[in-house]
Amino acid sequence: MKRAAIALTLALTLALPGCGAPRAAPTGPQDFALNLPVTAPGTGVARLDLPVAALLAFRRADMGDVRVYDAQGRPLSIARMEPAAASQNAIHLPAIAINEDRAADGAAVSVQVDQAGRRLTVATQGPAAGAAATAQVLLDTRSLADRAVAVRLDADLPPSRPVTVEIASSPDLKSWTPLTDAVLLRPGAGPELLGGGRIALPDVALQGRYVRLRWQGAPPGAVQGATLITSHTPAPPRLWVTARGIPAGSAQQMAFTLPVALQPGAVRVAMTGADGVVPLRLMGRDSAEAPWTPLAVGVLRQGAKATELPLEGIAPRQLLLEADPRSAGWSRPPALALALEPVSLLVAFNGAAPYRLAVGHADAAPALFAASDLAPNPGTYPRAQVAATGAGETFVDLGGEGTSWPFAPRKLALWGALLAGTGVLGMAVVRLLRANARPVDRP
């Protein structure tokens, strides 16, 4: 019985979070998951842009497990370099209605635009016969000097109904250049759109051009205007990394778990089979006990480009990709890629070369200084280089998270230990009662 009690205590200790023998803190670059040679431009403070392999090697959610060591194994002073603030402006533009009254499909469409204090009427071609019914409006973006990076629609969309929006631009309202397309969803009774309704645009100059918004799934007049996000200093481009190790799941669902330090800004989904059209939505949750929450919606089309599902600063631990039940789903699992934000360090190269970048240790305490401590006078810094040799593979492994198994493994272990303990205690009580029981004298 004593042995059973000891075994139970040990099981409970191992099952409880945070219990067990602590792991040692790192003492040098050899203790980190990734080591890469670094070439400094000289002495003093320099900028070091982390490669994709380093972004994937982090083991702490705060990205504090990064060091730069000198030849003697001494850590150098480092700071997280804040990305240059993108100089962005929000410009609201009213929607210019396109009159779609026409005698037949394919007839001319009349567009009226105020130009230099007078009314300008331009005839454009309407949709061809048999085409799906669409509603559309124009935005007059001819006076925009900065480049557009995103658009947010001022729209009253029907609840719980996906609305597909196509965006194109033209200098003359006749020849149109497609910019992007997106699927918007108003999930509840409120006016809020999923993901804030922000649609990312390719880095494009719209000066001297018009923008056309066409949509399906909402009535004409649903879009009253739009807010264009323009930038004179665009943000640095995201780094896309391919995902692998995703469980097959089913033809309708694919669930996966993100590494603890990974906080993607978007998920790119590409069709790999011949599956026609597959509407899908991305769901998220932080633990197996939490309900799934919708994050974004999109459409996969055979032969078309991949669709990007924005996360807009949301970083749930578990994600679920779900196909519309009206479709047959996917015959082959879609290909996934994740968008990572670039990370740069300021490093005080005041030691002896060679230097090494070390990343990836869950028990490494953050050792980052404030950028102002290393460089009181911000400016342009020389760049240090990370050697590509031995950088590792630049893909991310995504572990599966079954959708039908509602309990986390650690919680199952804890419940198992508790049930086993209850059994042991019950047996102890029974044995104690039997040992203390006295025989009853019969007359």
- Read off the pLDDT of residues 198-226 as tens digits, 9 standing for 90 and up: 898 887 889 999 999 999 888 888 898 99
Max CA pair span of the chain: 121
Helices 2-15 and 409-436 cross at an angle (nearest 10°) of 160
To which H or E segment does residue 426 belong? helix 409-436
Q: Which two tokens stand for residue 411?
A: 């919680």
Is residue 86 very low, low, confident or very high in pLDDT (cuts 50, 70, 90)? low
Average pLDDT over residues 313-336: 88
Average pLDDT over residues 21-40: 84
For 74-96, the DSSP string reads PBPPEEEEPPPPPEEEEEEEE-E
Average pLDDT over residues 115-143: 63
Q: Which two tokens stand for residue 348?
A: 């005080």
Question: For residue 407, is pLDDT > 90?
Answer: no
Question: Do 131 and 196 have their domain in common?
Answer: yes
Give the pLDDT score at 263: 86
Quick check: is 122 in a domain?
Answer: yes
Question: Do 248 and 168 have their domain in common?
Answer: no
367-390 per-position pLDDT tens digit: 999 988 988 777 789 999 998 655
Quick check: is 414 in a domain?
Answer: no
Q: Say how far apart CA 433 and CA 55 lie, in whole Å.
A: 61
Question: Do 226 and 137 have their domain in common?
Answer: yes
Q: What is the overall mean pLDDT for the chain? A: 80
Quick check: is 415 in a domain?
Answer: no
Q: Which long-range contacts (CB under 8 A, 24 or more apart) does 410-419 make?
A: 410/15, 410/17, 411/288, 411/289, 413/11, 413/14, 413/15, 414/12, 414/15, 414/16, 416/15, 417/8, 417/11, 417/12, 417/15, 418/12
Question: Domain boundary residue among 210, 233, 256?
Answer: 233
* Distance set, CA 251 to CA 254, 267, 274, 324, 331 (Å): 8, 19, 13, 10, 6
Question: Domain boundary residue among 290, 324, 340?
Answer: 340
Give the pLDDT score at 66: 96
* Distance set, CA 407 to CA 20, 330, 412 (Å): 22, 27, 6
> Residues for the chain: how many in total?
443
Question: Do 206 and 111 have their domain in common?
Answer: yes
Name the percent of the chain lying above pLDDT 90. 39
Question: Do 106 and 191 have their domain in common?
Answer: yes
Question: Do 62 and 141 have their domain in common?
Answer: no
Quick check: is 17 in a domain?
Answer: no
> Domain span at residue 112?
88-233
The total number of structural domains that make up the chain = 3
Question: Do 76 and 95 have their domain in common?
Answer: no
- What 8-state DSSP symbol labels residue 423? H
To which H or E segment does residue 399 belong? strand 399-400
8 Å CB contact between 165 and 184: yes
Which of 113-122, 155-164, 424-433 tops mean pLDDT? Answer: 155-164
Quick check: is 92 in a domain?
Answer: yes
Question: For residue 106, is pLDDT > 60?
Answer: no
Quick check: is 324 in a domain?
Answer: yes
Quick check: is 410 in a domain?
Answer: no
Question: Do 270 and 316 have their domain in common?
Answer: yes
Is residue 109 very low, low, confident or very high in pLDDT (cuts 50, 70, 90)? low
Quick check: is 313 in a domain?
Answer: yes
Question: Do 205 and 113 have their domain in common?
Answer: yes
- CATH number of the domain bearing residue 309: 2.60.120
Q: Say how far apart CA 48 and CA 59 lie, in whole Å.
A: 19
Question: Do 92 and 228 have their domain in common?
Answer: yes
Question: Domain boundary residue among 306, 340, 374?
Answer: 340
Give the pLDDT score at 335: 92
Question: Do 96 and 208 have their domain in common?
Answer: yes
Q: Say how far apart CA 329 and CA 425 lie, in whole Å.
A: 51
Question: Do 248 and 316 have their domain in common?
Answer: yes
